Amino acid sequence: MTPNTNNILRLSREISTSKSKDLVIIHGGGSFGHPLAKEYKISEGYTGEKQLKGYSLTHQAMVQLNKIIVDSLLEAGLPAVSVTPSSFIITTNKRITTIDTTLIARYLTTGMVPVLYGDTILDTKMKFTILSGDQLAVRLATELKAKKLIFGVDVDGVYSANPKIDVNAEFFKEFSVSQLKNTKIGGALSTDVTGGMLGKIIEAEEAVKSGVNVILLNALKVGLIYQVLKGETVKGTVLRR
């Protein structure tokens, strides 16, 4: 459990100084949730009683990471407020089937910035599983009719191959899910060591369809999150239908 404190505080400041309205923040598990979720096989659903402690420990790890992030956002002057996905969402075979976003909407009208995360989750078929921050972000963006959905990742956007290992990887300024039928790209994305680029694109399709502007960009590059929140054009991949 090693938080990247410098980047968390820098991003907190970029978000805060952008003075964005009606903002919702979702973060993933990083080095907090993933190792425990893997150890107790939480995403595979209930297989035995021993997992119950693991479910709780995984959630506790996420609570701890969320606390670090919310504290950092508060320090940066943003009225951030923690909202716990596993306390109001239920999935069925890993897909969200129960969610009431009125509480999130109410936080927004009160002037606060809800901060959610990928979390352990109760599931009507598997008893429990893992809900990804990606699925949650897309669902919230769609239900709350967001104008923009920004995925901050550790590469510049979508490439034809993993840019970290293939120097010939082609960068896409625009990308559509239909391009995934090109199996070379789909194959490359699915084995992406950064994990989940393919997952993000497939999840995000739903938001794109609903008219949300979806962009993937490199959150490690200083200033990019600030600029995109200010409405400036930045390097990144815009998803298209």
* Interface with a copy of itself (CB under 8 A): 46, 49, 52-53, 55-57, 59-60, 63-64, 67, 70-71, 74, 79-88, 90, 98, 100, 102-103, 106-107, 110-112, 122, 127-128
Task: Please state the closest distance from residue 194 (CB atom) to a copy of itself, in A.
Answer: 30
Task: Pick between residue 96 and residue 189 the one whose CB is nearest to a copy of itself.
Answer: 96
Kindly state the smallest distance separating residue 222's Cβ from a copy of itself, in Å.
Answer: 26
Q: From the CB of 119, what's the least distance to a copy of itself, in Å?
A: 11
Q: C-beta of 23: minimal distance to a copy of itself in Å?
A: 13
**Cα of 87 vs its chain's centroid, Å:** 18
State which residue, 129 or 237, has the beta carbon closest to a copy of itself.
129
Taking the complex as a whole, how short is the minimal distance between the CB of residue 122 and a copy of itself, in angstroms?
5
Torsional sign, CA 194, 199, 202, 207: negative
- Give whichever of 95 and 127 is closer to a copy of itself, judged by the CB atom: 127
Which distant-in-sequence residues (6+ apart) come within 8 Å of 140 by Cβ?
24, 26, 101, 104, 116, 146
Residue with smaller CB distance to a copy of itself, 55 or 226: 55
Is the Cβ of residue 66 or residue 135 nearer to a copy of itself in the bound state?
66
| Nearest distance in Å: CB 42, a copy of itself | 12
DSSP string, the chain: ----HHHHHHHHHHHHHTT-SS--EEE--HHHHHHHHHHTTGGG----TTHHHHHHHHHHHHHHHHHHHHHHHHHTT--EEE--GGGT-EEETTEEEE--THHHHHHHHHT-EEEEE-EEEEETTTEEEEE-HHHHHHHHHHHTT-SEEEEEESSSSEESS-TTT-TTPPEESEEEGGGGGSHHHHHHHHT-TT--HHHHHHHHHHHHHTT-EEEEEETTSTTHHHHHHTT---SSEEEE-
Residue 203 Cβ, how far from a copy of itself at the closest point, in Å?
22
Choose between 128 and 151: whose C-beta lies nearer to a copy of itself: 128
Nearer to a copy of itself, 31 or 87 (CB): 87
